[in-house]
């Protein structure tokens, strides 16, 4: 574990590509994008083609490093879905058309200030058209070098447009501060979003903390999240357009990065646990629908655009995020900013039909909850909640309810060890992989390295024992004072997990002691051999 060897294991998956057998081999720390590219190569299609896998029963298989392995006798069937559009007209006409459209929009931008957003949108659309060119198109004459030249020209135009915008802002009082931010929009059309029918077993299972989040691919997770909003009555209460809800969730998914741990599956995991706690604790009898909408949406958005490097790194490395937010919860502030950037798009604003006061409450609540996920504030938040519970917790007190909501999202954010071992243990691997990526970078940049992130010092048991004993169990025990049903469902599984890791630690220590004894014995033997040579 100390040398990271256990993270380099390879997995082999067998495929059925139109009746022809293929296989791919990948490491357990490969990204989903890497595995998808391998599948495209095996299927003989371009990397922009969408690949799905089905098992022998026709069920979808998630394209992820955690995907179940199979055998030669039961390969996964590969299905390629070409969602690309053929280039219109000849290759020369296509390139000329792209450049003409860009030039026209660029010239208009100088004349009309309000066209800036439209120009950016058109540039983005054209870039996607460039990406959608298939290998077949290239073979028919559209050379890669010409594509790259066109992309470079688009890049130059963007730079000139930004410079013009800055120059205009400098001399025009009507302009606000210049912020170089990408416009957040969905990258897929909603009509192409597949529809799944959930069985009664899945609907019931979804409410349990034992729910296995590893068996679901991205579109299925989107469908499950959508179901949660409908089942809790949030869609009806806030008059959400179901298509807008789809766009919102789709946009959220596309603004999570492919980190080993802080990715969209983690977002789904946290939200599912929140959904489970709402039902387990019967929160609908204690809290308002506005509170539950705030809890669920905060869980969905709580790690948006996480870069994979924590606040300590951001501050020590003096990143743009740390500078922007003055070293105060830079990541959590960024997650909030991205969340409300998405909601500022009318096509994605699930609260667009709310009254202004309602939306204001939801916004303030989401900011409070997402900022509460910064572990630097753990003691402050838990101590306040503990004092309220120890006294006389009042569900009619806005201050008490806000403390409860902050602790609930904290519980859900770090709740993996509540789940069964076969579900929780892969998350430890993912988290340690992300930690090791950060510590390796910190060593390379000469920054301080936390011992619990150092691949040469940490093991699974040492990483989890202190965290479960001093963070998880005390926090869940306090919440269980209000909701006794959590004792059996969550606190007891945490105690079992602690016991399991303590047993593993004893085994590790025993093996380490044996190795040390063997090394001492070898040194003694060497001394004896050396003495006999004289």
**Residues in Cβ contact with 497 at an 8 Å cutoff, skipping those fewer than 6 apart:** 417, 421, 424, 464, 468
Distance (Å, rounded) from C-alpha 382 to C-alpha 414?
A: 14
Q: Strand pairing partners for 61?
A: 53
Q: Three-state DSSP class for 446? A: coil
Four-point Cα dihedral 193, 98, 256, 70, nearest 10: 60
Q: Answer whether 18's CB lies under 8 Å from 45's CB.
A: no
Q: Strand pairing partners for 20?
A: 17
Tell me the two tokens of residue 416: 């993996």
Tell me the two tokens of residue 477: 């025990």
pLDDT at position 341 is 97
pLDDT at position 30 is 74
pLDDT at position 326 is 98
Three-state secondary structure string covering 250-290: HHHHHCCCCCCCCCHHHHHHHHHHHHHHHHHCCHHHCCCHH
- State which H helix or E strand residue 383 sits in: helix 378-390
Distance (Å, rounded) from C-alpha 425 to C-alpha 416?
A: 8
Q: Three-state DSSP class for 267? A: helix
pLDDT at position 63 is 85
Distance of CA 343 to the CA centre of its chain: 18
**Residues in Cβ contact with 450 at an 8 Å cutoff, skipping those fewer than 6 apart:** 312, 439
Residue 79 known to be catalytic:
no
Distance (Å, rounded) from C-alpha 221 to C-alpha 212?
A: 12
pLDDT at position 129 is 55
Q: Answer whether 233's CB lies under 8 Å from 275's CB.
A: no
Q: Strand pairing partners for 301?
A: none
Distance (Å, rounded) from C-alpha 135 to C-alpha 476?
A: 54
pLDDT at position 56 is 86
Q: Answer whether 471's CB lies under 8 Å from 378's CB.
A: yes
pLDDT at position 207 is 98
Burial of residue 117 (CB within 10 Å: 0-12, 13-18, 19+) is exposed
Distance (Å, rounded) from C-alpha 409 to C-alpha 317?
A: 28
Question: Could you say which of 156, 215, 262, 306 is catalytic?
Answer: 262
Largest Cα–Cα distance of the chain, in whole Å?
95
Angle between helices 218-231 and 242-254 (to 10 degrees): 140
Q: Strand pairing partners for 53?
A: 61, 78
List the one residue out of 272, 265, 274 whose CA is nearest residue 217: 265
Tell me the two tokens of residue 87: 């280039």
Q: Answer whether 295's CB lies under 8 Å from 302's CB.
A: no
List the one residue out of 454, 450, 465, 455 whose CA is nearest residue 509: 465
Three-state secondary structure string covering 133-146: CCHHHHHCCCCHHH
Question: Nearest 5°: phi and psi at 115?
Answer: -85, 0
pLDDT at position 113 is 45
Tracing tokens 């025993």 back to the chain, one arrives at 510
Distance (Å, rounded) from C-alpha 423 to C-alpha 497?
A: 12
Q: Would the pTM count as exceeding 0.75?
A: no
Distance (Å, rounded) from C-alpha 37 to C-alpha 100?
A: 33
pLDDT at position 158 is 60
Q: What is the radius of gyration, based on Cα positions, of the chain? A: 27
Per-residue pLDDT for the chain (534 aa), expressed as one digit of tens each? 444 444 446 788 889 998 888 888 887 777 777 788 888 888 888 766 788 888 888 888 888 888 888 988 889 998 887 544 444 444 555 555 555 555 555 554 444 444 455 555 555 555 555 555 544 444 444 445 555 656 666 666 566 556 555 554 443 433 333 333 444 655 556 656 667 889 999 999 999 999 999 999 999 999 999 999 999 999 999 999 999 999 999 999 999 999 999 999 999 999 999 999 999 999 999 999 999 999 999 999 999 999 999 999 999 999 999 999 999 999 999 999 999 999 999 999 999 999 999 999 999 999 999 999 999 999 999 999 999 999 899 999 999 999 999 999 999 999 999 999 999 999 999 999 999 999 999 999 999 999 999 999 999 999 999 999 999 999 999 999 999 999 999 999 999 999 999 999 999 888 887 777 777 776 666 656 555 555
Angle value at C-alpha 484, between 478 and 485, nearest 5 degrees: 120
Tracing tokens 């403390």 back to the chain, one arrives at 403
Tracing tokens 């989401």 back to the chain, one arrives at 366
Distance (Å, rounded) from C-alpha 27 to C-alpha 9?
A: 6
**Residues in Cβ contact with 392 at an 8 Å cutoff, skipping those fewer than 6 apart:** none
């Amino acid at each position: 574990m100390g040398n990271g060897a256990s993270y380099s294991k390879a997995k082999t998956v067998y495929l059925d590509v139109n009746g022809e057998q293929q296989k791919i081999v990948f490491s357990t720390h490969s990204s989903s994008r890497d595995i998808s590219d391998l599948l495209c190569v095996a299927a003989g299609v371009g990397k922009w083609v969408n690949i799905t896998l089905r098992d022998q029963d026709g069920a979808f298989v998630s394209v992820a490093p955690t995907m179940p392995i199979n055998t030669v006798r039961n390969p996964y069937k590969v299905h390629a879905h070409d969602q690309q559009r053929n280039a219109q007209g000849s290759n020369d006409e296509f390139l000329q058309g792209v450049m003409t459209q860009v030039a026209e929009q660029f010239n208009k931008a100088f004349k009309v200030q309000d066209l800036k957003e439209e120009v950016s949108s058109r540039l983005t659309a054209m870039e996607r058209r460039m990406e959608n060119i298939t290998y077949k198109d290239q073979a028919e004459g559209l050379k890669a070098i010409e594509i790259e030249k066109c992309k470079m020209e688009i890049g130059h135009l963007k730079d000139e447009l930004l410079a013009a915008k800055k120059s205009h802002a400098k001399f025009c009082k009507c302009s606000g501060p210049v912020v170089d931010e990408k416009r957040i929009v969905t990258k897929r059309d909603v009509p192409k979003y597949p529809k799944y029918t959930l069985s009664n077993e899945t609907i019931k299972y979804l409410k349990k903390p034992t729910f296995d989040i590893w068996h679901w691919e991205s579109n299925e997770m989107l469908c499950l999240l959508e179901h949660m909003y409908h089942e809790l009555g949030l869609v009806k209460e806030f008059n959400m357009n179901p298509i807008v809800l789809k766009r919102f969730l789709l946009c959220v998914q596309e603004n999570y990065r492919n980190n080993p741990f802080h990715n969209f599956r983690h977002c789904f995991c946290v939200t599912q646990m929140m959904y489970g706690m709402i039902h387990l604790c019967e929160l609908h009898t204690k809290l308002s629908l506005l509170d539950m909408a705030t809890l669920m949406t905060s869980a969905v958005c709580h790690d948006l655009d996480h870069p994979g490097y924590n606040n300590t790194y951001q501050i020590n490395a003096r990143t743009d995020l740390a500078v922007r937010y003055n070293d105060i919860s830079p990541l959590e502030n960024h997650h909030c900013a991205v969340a409300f950037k998405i909601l500022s798009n009318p096509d994605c604003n699930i609260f667009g039909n709310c009254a202004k006061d309602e939306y204001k409450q939801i916004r303030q609540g989401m900011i409070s909850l997402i900022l509460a996920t910064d572990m630097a504030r753990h003691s402050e938040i838990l101590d306040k909640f503990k004092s309220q519970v120890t006294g006389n917790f009042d569900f009619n007190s806005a201050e008490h309810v806000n403390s409860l909501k902050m602790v609930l999202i904290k519980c859900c954010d770090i709740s993996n060890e509540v789940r069964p071992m076969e579900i929780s243990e892969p998350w430890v691997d993912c988290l340690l992989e992300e930690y090791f990526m950060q510590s390796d970078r910190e060593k390379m940049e000469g920054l301080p390295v936390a011992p619990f992130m150092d691949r040469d010092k940490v093991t699974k048991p040492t990483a989890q024992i202190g965290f479960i004993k001093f963070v998880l169990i005390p926090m869940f025990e306090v919440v269980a004072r209000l909701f006794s049903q959590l004792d059996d469902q969550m606190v007891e599984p945490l105690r079992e997990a602690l016991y399991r890791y303590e047993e593993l630690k004893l085994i590790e220590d025993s093996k380490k002691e044996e190795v040390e004894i063997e090394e001492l014995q070898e040194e003694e033997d060497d001394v004896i051999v050396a003495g006999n040579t004289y």
